[in-house]
Structure 1
Amino acid sequence: MARTSLIVEPKGHVMTWLMLDHPAWDLDTGTPIRALRTPTGTWTFTGSSERMATLICGDGSAPVIDSYDPVSLLDGRVPVGLAASLHRLGRVERVRNPDLWEALATAIVRQVIRAGQARKMHRAFRTTAGEAAGSTWLIPTPEQTLALSAEDFAELGMAFKHRPLQAAASAYLTHHAEWAQLAPDALVKALQSVPRIGPWTAGAAVADATGDFSLYPYADLAVRTWAALADPATAWPTDEPGFAATWRRLAGPHLSVLTVLTLAWGDHHAQVDQGSTHH
């Protein structure tokens, strides 16, 4: 099988931040690593302290690396303080998730709990029930997820994730071909027909799978928290509807870029101050 490698690294003199917010990135060793399942093979990434990543593709294909540039926000709409913080961060690159099942299962794991807990739970789920991929693990397939008992989930500390994950696995096996044909906004609606999947989970999953963060639940606690920390001089609304309306107005045509860059700023902040991680 053909194997190719790709280096994702800063381009020219522009600082680039490789976003490692996704809980599938294993960060415990100090060298970030991640594996992703695709329809034709497995991709593995190895990062570095400089936020570069070497990608090994088992099928000769290349990943989609989405790039988000803060220069697009310097049009006067975004408050000066927030724009300055995001501009200092630099361009952000993020690996788009080619596996809708993993994106959906990850969003379910992230429901309600803090980011640090979600990362530990995601890793436990992968290492216990998933497949090894080099020195990391792939998330369990829908079939593997359905094969787990309630007791298995309880032993993983995931008893409250048992029913939503298995409902999603069953729905994915039934509808994945249909879902693959849907436009992103229609997919967000379709996913909400699955029990225990609401707007937050559906939006987070589709943003992960498409790279379009205008679909992310941009008024959630993470975005509100990071916006306030990145720009404490602005009086941000603290309620979700008020924040959402303000965020849309400030973002204009750059809603996806503003949202993902703010989350990336939070990712950077959390790496510096491990006690401040939120979801």
Structure 2
Amino acid sequence: MTWLMLDHPAWDMRPHAPAVRATRTSTGLWLLTATPTPTKALLDGSGAEPTIDSHDPAALRDLALPEGLHAALTQLGPVQRLREASLWDSLATAIIRQVIRARQARAMHHAFRHAAGTPAGPTRLLPTPEQVLALTDEEFAQLGMAFKRRPLQAAASAYLAHPEWPALAPDALIKALQEVPRVGPWTAAAAVADHSGDFSLYPYADLAVRTWAALADPATSWPADEAGFAARWQEVAGPHLSALTVLVLAWGDHHAHHTAPDQGSPHH
């Protein structure tokens, strides 16, 4: 069985119905439904389908993975993840995820979309930069997002001022995004990984990856500090850093729906 990752807070979980998510490509608005084989429906525009990346633990067979981690990922099996086509949506989502726990970020993302975003079938998109800039202090406060107003509006202004951003190489884009007030290395890297699908760019020593690695393979003594974990993770992953990071996050996403506590990303 192939698992579709539903970790991204743009997925709307619905009782007695498949999860749905809307996404913007360069030419159209799409609705995705999380059936066993994800379906894509064009709601507006044309062409340019959203990209779904596939990752298979079998591709890691040549790595010297710790035995427990190898077993956990093999049991999980192949994974798919929707690449966020809109750089703005990736940036805004990473800002929403700052500091707070994953469950709170999902609830806030949902509330923000459904209060101020554009309708897209049974769900809604995040507000555009223009819509974010038009929101008042009171409207942010009513959504419980007063502390997100300044970084979101600063990011919206910067995004509109830099139409060249989507064309930048990932390393240059991560650097450029950090020029936005209250967008630090974690936020910039998480946004670019989400947008590009390259999770070698993700801050792979963050709390979520460290937690899931330790839970998936408790027999291995993983470094507790970020720098030590990052060095160990790079050593283990070799040329498959992106795939290994996605697969461990997918393992955590699957595990979290059953037994694990909520995990956050307390970074900027």
Range class of TM-score, shorter chain: over 0.9
Does 2:237 correspond to 1:260? Answer: no
Does 2:117 correspond to 1:130? Answer: yes
- Whether the aligned pair in 1 keeps the contact of 2:18 and 2:33 (CA below 8 Å) is yes
The counterpart of 1:85, out of the listed 60, 68, 72, is: 72
Does 2:39 correspond to 1:54? Answer: yes
1:52 Cα deviation after fit: 3.0
Matches within 5 A, 1:60-99: 60-99=47-86
Residue ranges of structure 2 left out of the alignment (5+ in a row): none
Aligned counterpart, 1:3 = none
Q: Partners in 1 of 2:155 and 2:196 — Cα distance?
A: 19
Deviations 1:93-114 (A, max 9, x none): 1111110000000000000111
The counterpart of 1:246, out of the listed 225, 232, 240, is: 232
Deviations 1:230-268 (A, max 9, x none): 000000011111101110111111110110100000000
Structure 1 length-normalised TM: 0.91
SS of the equivalent of 1:272 reads: coil
Q: How large is the RMSD of aligned CA atoms in angstroms?
A: 1.3
Which amino acid is the alignment partner of residue 118 of structure 1?
Answer: A
Does 2:35 correspond to 1:34? Answer: no
Aligned counterpart, 1:219 = 205
1:274 Cα deviation after fit: 6.3
Aligned counterpart, 1:115 = 102
User: 4+ residue runs of structure 1 moved beyond 3 angstroms?
Assistant: 274-279
- Whether the aligned pair in 2 keeps the contact of 1:34 and 1:45 (CA below 8 Å) is yes
Which amino acid is the alignment partner of residue 60 of structure 2?
Answer: L
Q: Partners in 2 of 1:277 and 1:224 — Cα distance?
A: 10
SS of the equivalent of 2:10 reads: coil
Which amino acid is the alignment partner of residue 250 of structure 1?
Answer: V
Q: Partners in 2 of 1:226 and 1:210 — Cα distance?
A: 23
Which amino acid is the alignment partner of residue 240 of structure 1?
Answer: E
Structure 2 length-normalised TM: 0.94
Matches within 5 A, 1:118-197: 118-175=105-162, 177-197=163-183
The counterpart of 1:229, out of the listed 215, 223, 242, is: 215
Deviations 1:58-114 (A, max 9, x none): 424322111111112222422111011111111111111110000000000000111
1:273 Cα deviation after fit: 2.8
Q: Partners in 1 of 2:145 and 2:64 — Cα distance?
A: 43
1:277 Cα deviation after fit: 4.2
1:122 Cα deviation after fit: 0.1
Deviations 1:168-223 (A, max 9, x none): 00000011x21122111111111111110001000100000000000000000000
Identity level (%): 66
Q: Partners in 1 of 2:126 and 2:155 — Cα distance?
A: 14
- Whether the aligned pair in 2 keeps the contact of 1:21 and 1:267 (CA below 8 Å) is yes
- Whether the aligned pair in 1 keeps the contact of 2:25 and 2:49 (CA below 8 Å) is no
- Whether the aligned pair in 2 keeps the contact of 1:251 and 1:258 (CA below 8 Å) is yes
1:39 Cα deviation after fit: 2.5
Which amino acid is the alignment partner of residue 174 of structure 1?
Answer: A
- Whether the aligned pair in 2 keeps the contact of 1:269 and 1:276 (CA below 8 Å) is no
SS of the equivalent of 2:12 reads: coil
- Whether the aligned pair in 1 keeps the contact of 2:151 and 2:181 (CA below 8 Å) is yes
* Bigger relative contact order (CA 8 A; separation at least 6): 2
